[in-house]
Chain A
Amino acid sequence: MKKILAVALVLCLVLALAPMAFADNPVVKIGVFEPQSGDNGAGGKQEILGMQYANMLTPTVEIDGTTYDVELVYADNASANDKAPTAAQSLISSGVSLVLGSYGSGVSIAAGDTFAAAEVPAIGVTCTNPQVTSECDVYFRICFLDPFQGTVLANFAKSELNATKAYCLAKQGDDYSGGLCNYFIEAFGKDNCVYEQFPEGTSDFSTYITNAQNQGCDVFFSPVSTEAAAQIIAKANTQAIGMPILAGDTWDSNVILNAAKGTDVKICVTTFYQEGADPEFDKGIKEWIKSDATALANNGGNDELAAVTVMGYDAYYVALEALKAAGSVDPADVLEVIPSVEYTGVTGNIAFDDIGDALRDSAFVKSCNTETGVWDFVTVATVK
Chain B
Amino acid sequence: MDKTILPYIISGISVGGQYALIAIGYTMVYGILRLINFAHGDVFMVSGLLMVYLAAALPLTVAIPLVIILTVLLGFTIERVAYRPLRTAPRMSVMISAIGVSYLLQNLALYITGGLNKNYPQIPWISDRVTVLGMETSRVTIITPFLTIILVVLLVLLINHTKIGMAMRAVSLNFETSQLMGIRINSVISATFIIGTFLAAVGSMLFFTNYPGVVPTSGAMPGLKAFVAAVFGGIGSIPGAVIGAFIIGICESLIKGLDTILIVNGTITEQIGLATFSDAFTFVLLIIILVFKPTGLFGEKTTDKV
Residues of A within 8 A of B (CB): 35-38, 41-42, 45, 78, 172, 194-199, 201-208, 210-211, 214-215, 226-227, 230-231, 234-235, 237-240, 255, 258-259, 297-298, 300
For residue A210, which residues in chain B have a CB less than 8 angstroms away from its CB?
Answer: 7-8, 11, 257, 260
Most chain A CB within 10 A, of B8, B256, B271, B279, is at B256
**Please, which residues of chain A bring their CB within 8 A of the CB of B129?**
237-238, 240
Q: Which residue of chain A has the shortest Cβ distance to B211 in the bound complex?
A: A203
Complex alpha-carbon distance, A298 and B115, angstroms: 10
On B, residues with C-beta under 8 Å from A are 4, 7-8, 11, 15, 110, 114-117, 119, 127, 129, 135-138, 141, 207, 210-213, 215-218, 220-222, 252-253, 256-257, 259-261, 263-264, 271, 273, 275-276, 278-279
**Contact with A230, one of B115, B213, B257 (Cβ below 8 angstroms):** B213
Task: State how many angstroms separate the Cβ of A211 from the closest Cβ of chain B.
Answer: 4
Determine whether the beta carbon of B217 is less than 8 Å from that of A215: no
Which of A172, A227, A297 gathers most chain B CB within 10 Å? A227
Bound together, the chains give a CA A289 to CA B86 distance in angstroms of: 49
Contacting residues, chain A, for B207 (C-beta < 8 A): 203
Q: How far is the CB of A280 from chain B (nearest CB, A)?
A: 29
A207/B218 contact (C-beta < 8 A), A196-B271, A234-B212, A239-B136 known: no
Contact of B136 among A201, A207, A240 (CB under 8 A): A240
**A37-B115, A207-B8 as given contacts; A238 in contact with B253, CB under 8 Å:** no
B57 CB, nearest partner CB in chain A, Å:
14
CA distance A203 to B41 in the complex (A): 14
Contacts of A204 in B (CB 8 A): 11, 15, 210-211, 252-253
Q: How far is the CB of B108 from chain A (nearest CB, A)?
A: 13
Q: Give the complex CA separation of A201 and B114 in angstroms.
A: 19
A-B contact count (CB 8 A): 120
Contact indicator B15/A214 (Cβ below 8 Å): no
The residue from B116, B216, B279 contacting A42, defined by CB atoms under 8 A apart: B116
Q: Closest 9 interchain pairs by CB?
A: A37-B115, A201-B221, A41-B115, A238-B138, A207-B256, A203-B211, A240-B136, A211-B260, A210-B7
Residue on A nearest B119 in the bound complex, by CB: A258
Query: In the complex the two chains form, what is the Cα distance from A222 to B11 in whole Å?
Result: 21
Contact present for A231 and B211 (CB under 8 Å): yes
Asked if residues B275 and A230 are in contact (CB atoms below 8 Å), the reply is no
**Is B11 within 8 A of A227, CB to CB?**
no
CA of A197 to CA of B276, assembled, Å: 6
Output the least CB separation between A332 and chain B (Å): 34
If A199-B279, A239-B136 touch, whether A36 touches B115 (CB-CB below 8 Å) is yes
Q: For residue A239, which residues in chain B have a CB less than 8 angstroms away from its CB?
A: 7, 135-137
Residues of B within 8 A of A227 (CB): 117, 213, 215
Known: A207-B11, A210-B7, A239-B136. A45 touches B116 (CB 8 A): yes
Q: How far is the CA of A239 from the CA of B138 in the complex (A)?
A: 7
In the complex, chain A residues whose CB is within 8 Å of the CB of B279: 199, 201-202
Most buried by A among B8, B115, B212: B115
User: Smallest Cβ distance from B261 to chain A, in angstroms?
Assistant: 8
User: Does the CB pair B260–A214 fall under 8 Å?
Assistant: yes
Determine the distance from Cα of A49 to Cα of B271 in the docked complex, in whole angstroms.
Answer: 42
Find chain A residues with CB under 8 A from B256 CB. 198, 207-208, 211
